[in-house]
Amino acid sequence: MTLENNIKKRIIELASEGKRIDGRKLEETRKIEIIYDISNQAEGSCHVKLGKTEVMVGVKLGLGEPYPDTPDAGNLIVNAEVTALAGKEYEPGPPKEEVITMARVVDRGVRESGCVDMKKLVITKGERIWTLFIDAYVINDAGNLIDASAIGALAALKKAMMPVYNKKDDKIEITGNHVKMSTKKLPIAEEPIAITIAKVGDYLLPDPTKEENQVSDATLTITLNKKDKGVSLQKGGSEGFTKTEFEKALKIAIKNSKDIRAQIK
Amino acid sequence: MVYKKRYDGRKFDEMRKMKMEVGVIDNADGSAVFQIGNTKVIAGVYGPKILHPQRLRQEGKGVLRVHYRMMPFSVSERKNPRPGRRDIELSKVIKESLESAIFLENFGGSVIDIHVYVVQGDAGTRCACVCAASLALADAGIPMNDLVAGVASGSVGEQVLLDLTYDEEHVENEDVTDMAIAYNENLDKVTLLQMDGNISEKNMVKALELGIKGCNIIKKEMQKVLKKRYE
């Protein structure tokens, strides 16, 4: 029996007693800590700790041109990287499929929920708009990078200030924390929360640790808005979920997302 | 205009306030955050470990690899996350500033990886990265002949000054010179030296002397932080 199988066996054993490998209750989220303003050059930024998983997230705004199909909305670009700081298995280089998927799931959560009122990021309709960049940099991987990155994205967005723009010269004059005169905040309209649940054996484990992530048969990320409505789903892994399991996962996600949302100022 | 008084009120030979912490990344073998003024960087060390593929291994000598990157939100205009020529060059000069300090001969066939990320940039990031990397190497317990420290020096007009900010690098209507320095006190060698600007022979030497003085002060601070952590 391989080490991985042994770990899996142990995780299932513990789950049958209502426990998790790190001592949590079965459906509990790890402790969340958010340190704001880690970069004074960012419009909004934070350092999120979800248990021992750590992510640095920054929000920047830049001038851009609208896409032809959305002349009356700003652009959103979400980028995520698991830096080589995060663990011995990571190397510098272009993001791998797992990491690109992670960025896409965070992107869809923000986009589909209408988290930012993109219509308010138009400077001149059809010509000039703001491009909103969200960059999530994982610096320590202890599992569930998606939820930690999504928490960081929301926290940084909620803190973000609009840069000072000079329309005459079409130039950004002041950015980041240097915006002191302006009290204009980034227009936030929703608060999406992503809940990832790992299926290990017959058990559904929200906020999986690295070990639980590794031995999981499948994962499901459910992103919900303030009204508990679903805004995005993403299944990962080689196995699947039954309808009953999906219903159960949804109930866990609804409960846990409320707890997490309440912790983001 | 003559630059008589620094924007932030410092003396010309005074560095910005520093803040350091080691052991900040749980998974890494060694790690550190180094902040000088508004420049803040984070470093992580993995290794020594067996180097793959085999053809890269060196007999009787460990290989040091350094990756310098900027987080996109560390600068005023969002930086494209894809590494550019600058990232690659700075990785190389940071690596070369540290190699002679590490007893690499103890680690034949192995590699030590150092990853440094700029979280918040306000000039002097490569020098801050040297300091963070040195702290992280020490935190990883890697034997070195000294802690290499780095700081920027330079001049605005005829005035030589230590640890320039971004605003000082962009003083208008004056020749500004920026000199990046790293110094190994035990070897008494300058192990990183880069300069851009327009500066007299006399002031160039003066800037270098000032930088070395600054590195020695930083090294003492680094030692204090490490002692506090491991005492």
A249 C-beta neighbours (distance < 10 Å), count? 22
Assigned domain for A3 exists = no
Q: What is the CATH number of the domain that holds A126?
A: 3.30.230.70
Assigned domain for A10 exists = no
A39 close to B (CB below 8 A): yes
The reply to whether residue B27 touches residue A141, judged by beta carbons under 8 angstroms, is: yes
Assigned domain for A17 exists = no
Quick one: pLDDT band at residue B1, thresholds 50, 70, 90? low
* List of chain B residues whose C-beta atoms are within 8 Å of the C-beta of residue A94: 82
Q: Quote the pLDDT of residue B120.
A: 98
| Longest CA–CA separation in chain A, Å | 70
Above 90 in pLDDT, residue B94?
Answer: yes
The residue of chain A nearest to residue B25, with distances taken between CA atoms, is: A140
The reply to whether residue B25 touches residue A85, judged by beta carbons under 8 angstroms, is: yes
Which residue, chain included where needed, has tokens 């309209």?
A189
Quick one: pLDDT band at residue B217, thresholds 50, 70, 90? very high
Residue A182 CA neighbour count, 13 Å, CB half: 18
Q: Quote the pLDDT of residue A227.
A: 97
Per-residue pLDDT reduced to its tens digit, A41-81: 999 999 999 999 999 999 999 999 999 999 999 999 999 99
Above 80 in pLDDT, residue A197?
Answer: yes
CATH of domain B18-230: 3.30.230.70
A135 close to B (CB below 8 A): yes
Assigned domain for A213 exists = yes
Above 90 in pLDDT, residue A177?
Answer: no
Residue to mutate among A33, A39, A75, with most B CBs inside 10 A, is A39
Q: Quote the pLDDT of residue A3.
A: 86
A128: left (phi over 0), alpha (psi -120 to 50) or beta: beta
Interface of B with A (CB under 8 A): 25-28, 31, 38, 40, 42, 44, 46, 49, 67, 69, 71-78, 81-83, 113, 115, 117, 119-121
Range of the domain at A244: 23-262
Instruction: Identify the three-state secondary structure at position B180.
Output: strand
Above 90 in pLDDT, residue B69?
Answer: yes
Which residue, chain included where needed, has tokens 């520093």?
B18
The reply to whether residue B117 touches residue A176, judged by beta carbons under 8 angstroms, is: no
Per DSSP, helices labelled H in A27-140 are: 97-113
Assigned domain for A33 exists = yes
Q: Quote the pLDDT of residue A4.
A: 86
Segment A184-193 shows an average pLDDT of: 96
Quote the tokens at residue A220.
């499901």
Segment B142-163 shows an average pLDDT of: 97
Which residue, chain included where needed, has tokens 């130039």?
A171
Per-residue pLDDT reduced to its tens digit, A3-50: 889 999 999 999 999 999 999 999 999 999 999 999 999 999 999 999
Assigned domain for A64 exists = yes
- Count of CB pairs separated by less than 8 Å, A with B: 89
Q: Quote the pLDDT of residue A179.
A: 80
Angle between helices B201-230 and B125-139 (to 10 degrees): 30
Quick one: pLDDT band at residue A182, thresholds 50, 70, 90? low
The residue of chain B nearest to residue A132, with distances taken between CA atoms, is: B78
The residue of chain B nearest to residue A37, with distances taken between CA atoms, is: B120
Name the minimum distance, in Å, from the CA of A256 to any CA of chain B.
26
Per-residue pLDDT reduced to its tens digit, A225-244: 999 999 999 999 999 999 99
Q: Quote the pLDDT of residue A36.
A: 97
Segment B164-192 shows an average pLDDT of: 96
Number of domains into which chain A is organized = 1
Segment B13-36 shows an average pLDDT of: 98
Query: What is the rounded CA–CA span in Å between residue A256 and residue A25?
Result: 13
A53 C-beta neighbours (distance < 10 Å), count? 24
Above 90 in pLDDT, residue B18?
Answer: yes
Quick one: pLDDT band at residue A2, thresholds 50, 70, 90? confident
Q: Quote the pLDDT of residue A112.
A: 96
Q: Is the ipTM of this complex over 0.90?
A: yes
Mean pLDDT of chain A: 96
Name the minimum distance, in Å, from the CA of B79 to any CA of chain A.
10
Assigned domain for A155 exists = yes
List the 93-112 stretch of A: residues with Cβ below 8 A of B.
94
